Structure 1
Amino acid sequence: MMSLECFIFILMTFLVTGVQCDMTEVFAEVGSLAVLPCQYSPASNVSPRIIWSKAGKGTVWRMEKSGLQMWGSSWSPNGNQRVRCPHTQFERGHYSLQILGVTEEDGGVYSCRLEQGGLSVETVVMLRIITVSISPSAPMSGKDVSFTCQVTPGFDGSAAAVQWMLNDSRFSRQTRVTSPGDKFKSIVKEKASPRLSGNWTCVVGYGGKEGRASAPLTVTGIIQPPFDDTKVYAAVGSAVTLPCVFSSGLIPSSPIWEKLQPGSLNKRAPSRVAPSFSPSSPSSQLPWDQSASLKEVDLKDEGKYRCSGIIQGERLARNIQLVIAKIDSSVPSKKKGSVTLTCQVSDTSEVTQHEWVRVTYDLNGTEAFGSIHKGKTLSISPLSEESWGTWACRFSGRDGTLGNITYHVPMMSGLSGPKSSGYSQNTTAVVGLSVFLLALLLILAQLYKNHRRKQGIFQYPAMETIIHTVSNEREEREKYRVKVLP
């Protein structure tokens, strides 16, 4: 409600003879620059006398026709002027007053009076200061938190409209409005949670004008993951990290990781966690980072996990769901020479799309991606060169890619299953037959070579006679040697 002092100040401007009066609303956030408008089209080139004053405070700033400037004592502490009226705007008839770093006490009624050639023109400006405060400024998750939007001075009646915004989105929870004294307040009370973290803005509308002020909120506790039941996707055989990060500087006591029973948020699973589950933080991690890891994901690791720790005597907890992805291969009975790959995700509640893409690598190890095939299943021919390499199945949700899993088709591979086994047996038989034929060919070649050698000898009878003569003489000498020996 407008104070009596302000009302008398405005009334006096109407009673002054020859004065024209107009009223303007201006909003400014505490600590910002406030600009109070004052515009007049001069009737001559003679500089006017300008006087800015505030109701109940006297002169704020004034300039005589000679150009001499003077400041009110409260507006120039220690010689530092908080107000100014830029001369560069005078030629265009703008005599707006600028107030640097406005405070709550700066709110109120201001008057701009221009005197020129016996004519006096006065503009009245209502400056309202908006302040947003949050208490406590950094609440712990689960604790009460209060948001207050205060406007000084307040409004007449309930004509003001207030809207709260959280991160530029409308916050539609119920608010409480009070008008104690000459102040206006809009109050929101909530339980602190990560969903409330961010920038809070109060938008106030009154008299056709709008003003706003903001303040940030940081909720302490478990900041990663920010929400309960956050899903983490991992492929079978891969490593995965389950995040559990507390606010910087908050070191939890008695941290615990546990696996919950299916369908329960409170009971522990009998098997607790997998052998590869590592609940202890590596030495390289900060003490408020209690994230855990699985070195090699298995199908049985799928499910919900809970990370918790005690902060300020209260146990804070966050539930995380581990979703497992795998690729199944099958040989359709009606399609010989082909394999069907199926992308399986243990929880598809967030999955909206599946995509298959072939990934190949050149000699330098550079990746190359083929065309994209949409759908949960993909039919390929392992005997076809176009199917060799790595196939990746990417599954996505509304906010983008959730995860992926790969399947490798080796070069010259056969079909999987019984048909693949038959193909391997045929290969062995072909190799064995080839070796047998090669050995038989070598034997035949040797026989032919011996046969040709014999034919070559019988073609020269004289040589044959010499060979027999030499042989007979050798036998005679052997007989004679035997007889001579005693």
Structure 2
Amino acid sequence: MQLECFIFGVITFLITGAQCEEFEVLAHAGSQAVLPCKCSYSFPITPVIIWSNAKKGTVWRKQKSGLQFWGSSWLQKGIQRAQCPHFKFEKGDYSLQINNVQEEDGGIYTCRVEHGVLVTETVVTLRIIKVSFVPSVAIRGEDVSIRCDVTPKPNGATVQWMLNYSPFVPQNAVSSTSISSQSVMFQTARVKLAGIWTCVFSYKGKEERVSANLTVKGIIQPSEDNAKVYAAVGSAVTLPCVYSPGLNPANPTWEKLKPEYIFKPVPDRLPASFSASSPSSQQPWDKSASLKEVGFEDAGRYRCSGTIKGQRLSQNMQLVTAKINSTIPSKKKGSVTLTCQLSDTSEVTDYEWVHVVYDYNGTKSIGSIQKGKTLSISKESEENRGEWTCRFYGKEGILGNVTHHIQLMGGLSGQKSSGVSRNTAAIVSLSFLLLVLLLVLAQMYKNHQRRKRIFQYPALETIVHTISNEREERERNRVKK
């Protein structure tokens, strides 16, 4: 091409004084491309300007009279995609601007400037770079091809890939760095592959970066297989299983896997407190499960599954349970040793004990903080009352915590003695009242029996009343004297 242009330039220059130049322009699909066409000299009046494409013919033409013509293929929704800024004509700049360039716009363009016998030609090769995915939206687990297409194809160009603005080195993938094969890379769709893919295209000392966003749908929480979920014994926990918004999996299931079958998982019995629906589940794509009360034996691997577009998707997670063991050393009866125990400590790097105290108003305050998996404290010391929380940490921060309550021995003894005293006083009072009641009942019974015997003899009753009346009269007379 360069040789042909050189020969054509020499011949036309000798005959008409024409000149020929060549340029390469790189642009990504959807952007604006500027094709250069500049003359080193200016004309008193606007010359004839003709922009043409090797395949589509005339792109834009301006006559001496000022009339302009556009090719029909460059009209998009009533707007011309190709134009030349008139305010630059006085400077000898006749560059062509193409808006929203497409793959089919790639090719060879010619700018011809005619001013009498003076003719200047500029040849521009426009290459369109586009990043695409097949399929455009990938389902997790299926194969996806990542393409960096360049139209027209160059020779000697190289391509490098970046994912989320960091260099990407494919693992267990078929890829190509030669643009001659359109730089196709095959990957198995994973959540980690979702994001902004950038094709770094290098050609003849120039570099162009083109990006596109890849969406991977499937189970997005947890984002990694065998992710760990930490829970304290006795608490409630949610096992996440969230699909991409808009996905409604068919036949969702939950399973607990036996620990001895690692390579070929075998279902185990689910815990008694297991519920296949989480209280937080409000959307059809949220299939999280919950355990209302975690037991230490509930630790292990769990798997959620569902069918999307005929493909069975599954995600494994591991429930790690935590508890605090309390032991009393044989040599120190007044002390207690607390041990933070986890069903899996593979991710734990550090332990921390935090003392939490509540006053009579319920105000919370943080006391001492100590390091280590075990903690030895005195149960008889008032300073150690309240809650002791064991926090366990990993490389990226806190993983979880579990709490143990400490009650004072002295406080318990005092409460017991006080309770016994109150019970004794209540028993004595009740016994006294019962005794008085028995005496009253006995006296009432005696009076009843005496009256019963007297009423059996009416004459005797009359005599008794007469004697009683006479006695009362004598008493009154004595008082008068």
Q: What TM-score, normalized to structure 1?
A: 0.69
Q: 1:429 to 1:390 in 2, by over 3 A?
A: closer
Deviation at 1:165, TM superposition (A): 2.7
Deviation at 1:405, TM superposition (A): 3.0
Q: 1:14 to 1:205 in 2, by over 3 A?
A: farther
Q: Distance in 1 between matches of 2:81 and 2:241?
A: 49
Q: Conserved in 2, the CA contact under 8 Å of 1:161 and 1:205?
A: yes
Q: Conserved in 1, the CA contact under 8 Å of 2:158 and 2:178?
A: no
Q: Conserved in 2, the CA contact under 8 Å of 1:153 and 1:184?
A: no
Q: Distance in 2 between matches of 1:63 and 1:328?
A: 90
2:321 maps to a residue whose letter is I
Q: Distance in 1 between matches of 2:360 and 2:411?
A: 30
Query: Which residue of 214, 217, 242 maps to 1:217?
Result: 214
Q: 1:77 to 1:317 in 2, by over 3 A?
A: closer
Deviation at 1:59, TM superposition (A): 4.0
1:166 maps to a residue whose letter is L
* 1:352 correspondence with 2:327: no
Deviations 1:104-141 (A, max 9, x none): 11111234456789976655432111223322233433
Query: Which residue of 321, 324, 327 maps to 1:327?
Result: 324
Query: Which residue of 183, 186, 202 maps to 1:186?
Result: 183
Q: Distance in 2 between matches of 1:315 and 1:65?
A: 68
Q: Distance in 2 between matches of 1:255 and 1:337?
A: 53
> What pairs with 1:403-418 in structure 2 (closer than 5 Å)?
403-408=400-405, 413-414=407-408
2:313 maps to a residue whose letter is L
Q: Distance in 1 between matches of 2:316 and 2:412?
A: 49
* 1:61 correspondence with 2:54: no
Equivalent position SS for 2:30: coil
- Greater CA drift, 92-101 or 160-169: 92-101
State the partner residue of 1:458: none
For structure 1, list consecutive stretches of 5 or more residues without a partner in the other structure. Answer: 415-419, 437-479
> What pairs with 1:376-415 in structure 2 (closer than 5 Å)?
376-377=373-374, 390-408=387-405, 413-414=407-408
Equivalent position SS for 1:351: coil
State the partner residue of 2:460: none
Query: Which residue of 196, 201, 223 maps to 1:199?
Result: 196
State the partner residue of 1:469: none
Q: Distance in 1 between matches of 2:120 and 2:364?
A: 75
Q: Distance in 2 between matches of 1:281 and 1:51?
A: 69
State the partner residue of 2:273: 276
State the partner residue of 2:259: 262
1:131 maps to a residue whose letter is K
Q: 1:382 to 1:102 in 2, by over 3 A?
A: farther
Q: Distance in 2 between matches of 1:350 and 1:74?
A: 62
1:268 maps to a residue whose letter is V
Figure out how many residues of one structure are paired with residues of the other and give that number: 424
RMSD: 4.6
State the partner residue of 1:74: 73
Deviations 1:413-458 (A, max 9, x none): 42xxxxx3x774477679999xx9xxxxxxxxxxxxxxxxxxxxxx
Q: Distance in 2 between matches of 1:336 and 1:93?
A: 100
> What pairs with 1:47-196 in structure 2 (closer than 5 Å)?
51-62=50-61, 69-76=68-75, 79-87=78-86, 96-112=95-111, 123-156=122-155, 159-173=156-170, 174-176=174-176, 185-196=182-193
Deviations 1:217-246 (A, max 9, x none): 333443332332121111111111112234
Deviation at 1:259, TM superposition (A): 1.4
Q: 1:356 to 1:23 in 2, by over 3 A?
A: farther
Equivalent position SS for 1:102: coil
Q: Conserved in 1, the CA contact under 8 Å of 2:42 and 2:91?
A: no
Q: 1:395 to 1:26 in 2, by over 3 A?
A: farther
Query: Which residue of 296, 301, 304 maps to 1:304?
Result: 301
Q: 1:376 to 1:70 in 2, by over 3 A?
A: farther
Q: Conserved in 2, the CA contact under 8 Å of 1:152 and 1:184?
A: no
1:104 maps to a residue whose letter is E
Q: Conserved in 2, the CA contact under 8 Å of 1:25 and 1:209?
A: no
Equivalent position SS for 1:219: strand
Q: Conserved in 2, the CA contact under 8 Å of 1:9 and 1:55?
A: no
Q: Conserved in 1, the CA contact under 8 Å of 2:50 and 2:61?
A: yes
Q: Distance in 1 between matches of 2:363 and 2:122?
A: 72
Deviation at 1:204, TM superposition (A): 1.7
2:25 maps to a residue whose letter is V
Equivalent position SS for 1:212: strand
State the partner residue of 1:240: 237
Deviations 1:126-178 (A, max 9, x none): 2111223322233433333222221110113xx11112333333332341478
2:198 maps to a residue whose letter is T
For structure 2, list consecutive stretches of 5 or more residues without a partner in the other structure. Answer: 425-473
Q: Conserved in 2, the CA contact under 8 Å of 1:28 and 1:211?
A: yes
2:137 maps to a residue whose letter is A
Q: 1:328 to 1:77 in 2, by over 3 A?
A: closer
2:144 maps to a residue whose letter is V
Q: Distance in 1 between matches of 2:11 and 2:371?
A: 80
Among all aligned residue pairs of Structure 1 and Structure 2, give the percentage whose two residues are the same amino acid: 56
State the partner residue of 1:471: none
- Greater CA drift, 109-118 or 17-26: 109-118
Q: Distance in 1 between matches of 2:206 and 2:119?
A: 27
Deviations 1:363-393 (A, max 9, x none): 9988766786555455666677765555544
Deviations 1:84-122 (A, max 9, x none): 334566688765432111111111123445678997665
Equivalent position SS for 1:195: helix
